[in-house]
Structure 1
Amino acid sequence: MITKPTIDRIMEATDIVEVIGEFVALKKRGANYVGLSPFANERTPSFTVSPAKGIFKDFSSGKGGSAVTFLMELEKFTYPEALKWLAKKYGIQVEETVDTTENLEEQNHRESLMIVSGYAAKFFHESLLETEEGQNIGLSYFKERGFNADTIKKFELGYSPDQWEAFTGEAIKQGYQEQYLVESGLSVKRDNGSLYDRYRGRVMFPIHSFTGRVIAFGGRTLKSDKNVPKYVNSPESEIYHKSNVLYGLYFAKRAIREEDNCYLVEGYADVISVHQAGVENVVASSGTSLTVEQIRLIGRLTKNITILYDGDAAGIKAAIRGLDIVIEEGLNVRIVLFPDGDDPDSYVRKVGSSGFLNYVKSNSKDFIEFKSEILLKDIQNDPIAKANAFTEISKTISLIKDDLKRSEYTKIASQKFNISERQLIGIINKNISDELRKKRQSEERASEKLIQEENNIEDETSINTGLSQKELEAIAYSDANQEKEIIRLLLLYGNKMIDWDGIANTYIGPFMIAELSDVEFEQPVTKHFMEIYRQEVENGVLPEEQHFIHHPDKGIVDLVVTLLATKYTLSENWYEMHKIMVPDEQANMKATILGAIFHLKKQKVGKILESLRKELQTTSAEADQEILLNQYMHMKKVEKTISDYLGSVIIK
């Protein structure tokens, strides 16, 4: 367990804009920063960071919280993991207390996989540098590829000994469980139940998460036997999904943001060689077909991507396959093909960083220009081949969401294919209409299914309670809103002094807690919040919003951030421009605070009255009826008192 003083130091040092800025491209807007949501696919920024409050709010997904919460949501960290990541970033030494229960067994399954992968990376790296076999075989190979000592250390390159159980045996000896060795793919289980090393005799390329932890490996054989696969990669696991990972992104993310461009290559060696040459904004799809998730990872950092591929036929086909998916995600794409026989790795080693960058700059082509040339190549006068190529390029242009961009590319393509612009516009518009119709039909089918499910739920609920699902939701929604309003006021004004007629020299927080001592909060998260707040007040502390923003309970954090964050703010010139006065709740704090308290009490009294009415209808004993009736009349008087204050009229 991390000690409270350590947590406080971490929170004080953390700059939420700086932390989130490592994962999302943020732009200043007024007092806040905005960017595209990393949790949802959006084109208009709805992700907001407030440095003053130390919170973020994603209005697309509803997620929100502190820098710690952000890391937990995005990287699936546990609370301690997120704190340790921040501590490492800001150079804070973590002090921990021993919790024997938690230390006897790892906190969770995912963390256990992370730990065993980290141990494996260390084992392979030490095998490379400190064993005779590793130096003679693995280190010699890396040096032949031109990788220097700093690069080998930075990327944590390694070597797996050419023995059946070198790694597995040592891992088990060190106390790592077989379950996690197998699940991570580091070890393979034989039919008889024994284990052996998956990567024996291979040089190792650790694959890092966005935050730098080792989550998987790629192992390359150095043998010439054609029956031995050249690369063996980690299987899918709880911590590794290859469609969501780009090799080298952890080392490239800062450079990608600074250069506002990302170079996309194919393999591990391409990334390492180009990075070592000083061109650090480079990542790889690791030999897999480019996925939407990978493109969105890049899109969080930049909207510009340059795809670097081999000049052979396979490289050209790979480039074309990856184009449409990038265009559909709204990124600006350029393509560079290297001379036949070269790839980014060999070319940068041949000409150096300046020669490499000069070649990329002078040979990069816009995607429409590139794809048009590839499609038109070798079709000669074949009308069918030309028609197919024309259909293909029109489909690609149809994916462009921006109207101006689409118009410009239409002009370029019409010239390339020697076809009238009007004709091409007609085909593109038809493609767009067809896609919209398919999407609408799909949404309608999904909507019909949802309505049917809701009707089934409503029918079942009505049988059990006598109330429809919508009626129940209305009751719950009303209660939840009243309870949340109380919490919002506690967060904003709990530490402010009361200076009202008849009430003074006390704080709003303790006053509200005392006034609500007879009210039971029903929503689990609001009830928990009130328990925490009440306990702090009893301890002589007035908890402020930061106390809850950094709370370890995610439900509390979500609630608080939702109440504190707003998507819209009035400009300073709002009144001058529109002559519309927006009421200020602080102008009459007495009405604001007491109004919220009595609205909640009125809501609770109404529910008690409804419950008493139902009991009166089902109770036959006269004595019981008299007791219930007395209770009912008492609650009616309470209701009238509340209503008189609120100035409302109860319909009898």
Structure 2
Amino acid sequence: MISPASIDLVFETARVEEVIGDFVNLKKAGSNFKGLSPFSDERSPSFVVSPVKQIWKDFSTGKGGTSVSFLMEHEHFTYPEAIKYLAKKYNIEIEETEQSNEQKEQANERESLYLVSEFANTYFQKILHKTDQGKSIGLSYFKERGFTEETIKKFDLGYSLNEWQGFTDEALKQGYNIDYLAKTGLTIVKGDKRFDRFKGRVLFPIKSMSGRVLGFGGRILVLDKKAAKYMNSPESDIYHKSKVLYGIYHAKQSIAKEDNCYLVEGYTDVIQFHQTGITNVVASSGTALTPDQIRLINRLTKNITVLFDGDAAGMRASLRGIDLILEQGMNVKVCTFPEGEDPDSFAKQNTLEEVSTYLTENAKDFIQFKASILFEESKNDPIKKADTVRDIVNSISKIPDQIKKEIYIQECARIMDMSESVLFSTLAQIDSKTAKDNNSKPATNKQNYNMDPNMDPNQDPREGPPDNYPFEVITNKEPVKKVDVQYLLERKIIEVLLLYGNEVEEFEDLVLKENEKGDLVLEPVVHEAKVFEKVFLDLQDDEMEFTNTQFKELYYTIIDRLNQDTKFELKTFINTVSTDMSSEITTILMDDDRYALDDWNRMNIFPKEKKMSIAQLVSETILNLRCFLIDQKVKEFQQETLQNKKDSNRNILEEVRDYSGLKMLLSRKLNRVL
């Protein structure tokens, strides 16, 4: 269990923009940062981070919260794990009591899989560095590959003893459950027999973007025709090979910084590049590239450079991956190494400057690369050449950006010495077929009006007719949902309390007093109070209750906390409430920030900033709510009068008159003319 003092220190130190910046490529947008949502597949940013409020909001999914809730949502951390991750990131020592075997068993299944994997990672490193077999076999192999001691430790490389149950016996001895050892694939269970999956192999731990161990890749070192050279952990609740990239944990910051990601095939390619000094590199770990893996990179950069060895057959097989990258709207370059070389061997034999220069000079645009590969096979065969051209145009059709499509068609026409018009025609055919295959959506809803000649010619038909439009509207749109005024006002009260609850302000109230002539007049009275006290007393005086149950719960929670805590801090408060409440708070506080996503300034549109004193904001919000509730009450009386036409109800009419008078009074406070 982590001590409260340690948790408080983590909250005080962690910066939400720094934490999320490790996982999402954030760009400045006014006082905030924006980026692509890590929770949905999108091409336009809908993810906003507020350094001032220390919260984030994903408008595409509705999720939001603090740095801790982001880690829990994105990395599936438990609350203690998120705190530990942040403590490690900011070099904070945390006080905690060690988990007993009983507590380990009581942990939820997913967490247990992580615990087992972390234990295995530590165990395999210990075997590599501390045992005779580990040193003579495992460590010798890594050093033969040219890896330094520093590199071996950086990537947590390890070794599994060439024994049937070496790891399994030690894990069971330490109190880990055999069920979780089996589910991670570290132990293979067949009836009563149990044996180690990675027996006699060197181990490459596969980590998530946050550094959690998800699984392992193991390479066998003994000659065994029946055993696979490389073996990966099987799929589990925490390891999905199609969604993981080897090296992403070590590469994420440099990928964002360099705005480019090198994509290789194997573990040793990644490690050797890192050792050379090129750290923005990841591997697909021997699997075919998947859309999920591409989206992982897309969070950090729009640019991928795919690195191939000199094997032509392997390059042709990998061309399918390029189409997938293009489909995600990313920019692709391809670089091949001399025949007989691969990224591992090339980086090992050359200096950082030589490798960097080679990559810069030899990285080709995907279309040049594809044309050069396929053209060699078809240059003397017109039919094959036609197929090659169609293949390249088909790749271009995957690109979502129309301008890029046109530029690539022009480039293809130049390389293949063909007419642009023919290629554009082919592209149109492919696009048309794709649209049919995808059951393209019908045209957007249209509205038709029985037009009034007196209707404002500047009225935008997309906005629908004006409220007082007297003619029938024929439309296939769903009825527009009416604005819930009370919901918005209650929401605004919560926002005011969260942002300014502890602020001391001067409030001016208009009070009815009798003047010298004996008439009742409004006189201003100024008094000083904390914002939350003013809100609470005003709502209590009018006996106003929140109609939204979630706002009601949140309101009393905030008032209670502000009453008890003179040093109320928003980010600390958010971290102490329930997940649902935290999400609602984030939604309320970040709602206005969604408009920053539109980047109006880039289009020379400069929205005016809302300037209002805190006292004015508080008073107007409460007065507006009171006016709204009076309107609702008057409507109730009107309805009651209509239902009792025969029986004139003088009392109801007097009530309406009194409420109307009260509304006039409140409107004067709001400086309104009714």
CA 1:410/1:525 → structure 2, altered by over 3 Å: closer, same or farther?
Answer: same
TM-score by length of structure 1 reads: 0.83
- When structure 1 is superposed on structure 2, of 326-335 and 499-508 the one drifting more is 499-508
Secondary structure of 1:290's counterpart equals coil
1:303–1:332 CA contact under 8 A, matched in 2: yes
Give the CA deviation at 1:531.
2.9
CA 1:371/1:606 → structure 2, altered by over 3 Å: closer, same or farther?
Answer: farther
2:531–2:618 CA contact under 8 A, matched in 1: no
Aligned to 2:555: 530
How do residues 394-433 of structure 1 correspond to structure 2 at under 5 angstroms? Answer: 394-433=393-432
- Does residue 116 of the first structure (1) align with residue 124 of the second (2)? no
TM-score by length of structure 2 reads: 0.81
Residue 355 of structure 2 aligns with an amino acid whose one-letter code is F
Post-superposition CA distance 1:303-355 (Å, at most 9, x none): 22111112113321233121111111122211112223221112222334333
How do residues 510-589 of structure 1 correspond to structure 2 at under 5 angstroms? Answer: 510-517=533-540, 518-521=543-546, 523-539=548-564, 541=566, 543-565=568-590, 566-568=593-595, 584=612, 588-589=616-617
Give the CA deviation at 1:233.
0.7
CA 1:605/1:409 → structure 2, altered by over 3 Å: closer, same or farther?
Answer: same
How do residues 284-363 of structure 1 correspond to structure 2 at under 5 angstroms? Answer: 284-363=283-362
1:496 and 1:596 map into 2 onto residues whose CA distance is 22
Give the CA deviation at 1:267.
0.6
Aligned to 1:70: 70
CA 1:582/1:7 → structure 2, altered by over 3 Å: closer, same or farther?
Answer: closer
Secondary structure of 1:92's counterpart equals coil
Give the CA deviation at 1:579.
11
1:497 pairs with 480, 495, 505, which one?
505
- Does residue 508 of the first structure (1) align with residue 531 of the second (2)? yes
CA 1:644/1:86 → structure 2, altered by over 3 Å: closer, same or farther?
Answer: same
1:372 and 1:138 map into 2 onto residues whose CA distance is 43
How do residues 144-163 of structure 1 correspond to structure 2 at under 5 angstroms? Answer: 144-163=144-163
Aligned to 1:593: 621
Residue 559 of structure 1 aligns with an amino acid whose one-letter code is E
2:532–2:559 CA contact under 8 A, matched in 1: no
1:204 and 1:580 map into 2 onto residues whose CA distance is 58
The RMSD of aligned alpha carbons is 3.8
- Does residue 50 of the first structure (1) align with residue 50 of the second (2)? yes
Give the CA deviation at 1:246.
0.6
Higher helix share: 1
CA 1:74/1:599 → structure 2, altered by over 3 Å: closer, same or farther?
Answer: farther
Residue 493 of structure 1 aligns with an amino acid whose one-letter code is Y
Post-superposition CA distance 1:218-256 (Å, at most 9, x none): 111112222211111111112111111110111111222
- When structure 1 is superposed on structure 2, of 591-600 and 167-176 the one drifting more is 591-600
Post-superposition CA distance 1:93-135 (Å, at most 9, x none): 1134799999465543222111110000011111111111111
2:267–2:283 CA contact under 8 A, matched in 1: yes
Give the CA deviation at 1:4.
3.2
CA 1:366/1:540 → structure 2, altered by over 3 Å: closer, same or farther?
Answer: closer
Aligned to 1:18: 18
1:638 and 1:533 map into 2 onto residues whose CA distance is 34
Post-superposition CA distance 1:153-192 (Å, at most 9, x none): 1111111111111111110110011121111111111123
1:586–1:592 CA contact under 8 A, matched in 2: no
How do residues 152-191 of structure 1 correspond to structure 2 at under 5 angstroms? Answer: 152-191=152-191
Give the CA deviation at 1:602.
5.8
1:579 and 1:348 map into 2 onto residues whose CA distance is 52
Residue 525 of structure 1 aligns with an amino acid whose one-letter code is Q
Give the CA deviation at 1:481.
3.7
- Does residue 246 of the first structure (1) align with residue 245 of the second (2)? yes
- When structure 1 is superposed on structure 2, of 106-115 and 208-217 the one drifting more is 106-115
Aligned to 1:621: none
1:55–1:549 CA contact under 8 A, matched in 2: no
Aligned to 1:620: none
Secondary structure of 1:93's counterpart equals coil
CA 1:219/1:422 → structure 2, altered by over 3 Å: closer, same or farther?
Answer: same
2:66 and 2:215 map into 1 onto residues whose CA distance is 29
Residue 510 of structure 1 aligns with an amino acid whose one-letter code is E
Secondary structure of 2:242's counterpart equals helix
1:243–1:291 CA contact under 8 A, matched in 2: yes
2:207–2:249 CA contact under 8 A, matched in 1: yes
1:552 and 1:580 map into 2 onto residues whose CA distance is 34
Secondary structure of 1:504's counterpart equals strand
CA 1:638/1:224 → structure 2, altered by over 3 Å: closer, same or farther?
Answer: farther
1:585–1:592 CA contact under 8 A, matched in 2: no
Post-superposition CA distance 1:366-422 (Å, at most 9, x none): 100011122222224433322221211111112223333222211121122222011
2:317 and 2:331 map into 1 onto residues whose CA distance is 18
Aligned to 1:129: 129
CA 1:632/1:205 → structure 2, altered by over 3 Å: closer, same or farther?
Answer: farther
2:162 and 2:98 map into 1 onto residues whose CA distance is 39
Aligned to 1:459: none
Give the CA deviation at 1:302.
1.7
CA 1:588/1:131 → structure 2, altered by over 3 Å: closer, same or farther?
Answer: closer
2:627 and 2:286 map into 1 onto residues whose CA distance is 61
- Does residue 230 of the first structure (1) align with residue 214 of the second (2)? no
The alignment-based identity, stated in percent, is 42
1:355 and 1:578 map into 2 onto residues whose CA distance is 48
Post-superposition CA distance 1:400-448 (Å, at most 9, x none): 2333322221112112222201111122133234434544x35569x9x
CA 1:637/1:138 → structure 2, altered by over 3 Å: closer, same or farther?
Answer: farther
Residue 3 of structure 1 aligns with an amino acid whose one-letter code is S
2:263–2:305 CA contact under 8 A, matched in 1: yes
- When structure 1 is superposed on structure 2, of 520-529 and 28-37 the one drifting more is 520-529
How do residues 247-266 of structure 1 correspond to structure 2 at under 5 angstroms? Answer: 247-266=246-265
Residue 117 of structure 2 aligns with an amino acid whose one-letter code is S
CA 1:103/1:633 → structure 2, altered by over 3 Å: closer, same or farther?
Answer: farther
1:548–1:556 CA contact under 8 A, matched in 2: no
Give the CA deviation at 1:586.
5.2
Give the CA deviation at 1:526.
2.1
1:207–1:217 CA contact under 8 A, matched in 2: yes
CA 1:120/1:599 → structure 2, altered by over 3 Å: closer, same or farther?
Answer: farther
2:488 and 2:101 map into 1 onto residues whose CA distance is 39
Residue 567 of structure 1 aligns with an amino acid whose one-letter code is R
1:252 and 1:39 map into 2 onto residues whose CA distance is 20
Residue 419 of structure 1 aligns with an amino acid whose one-letter code is M
Aligned to 1:281: 280
Post-superposition CA distance 1:191-226 (Å, at most 9, x none): 23x422111111111011101121110111112222
1:578 and 1:201 map into 2 onto residues whose CA distance is 65
Aligned to 2:466: none
Gap runs ≥5 in structure 2: 446-477, 509-523, 669-674
Aligned to 1:214: 213
CA 1:166/1:524 → structure 2, altered by over 3 Å: closer, same or farther?
Answer: farther
Give the CA deviation at 1:506.
2.1
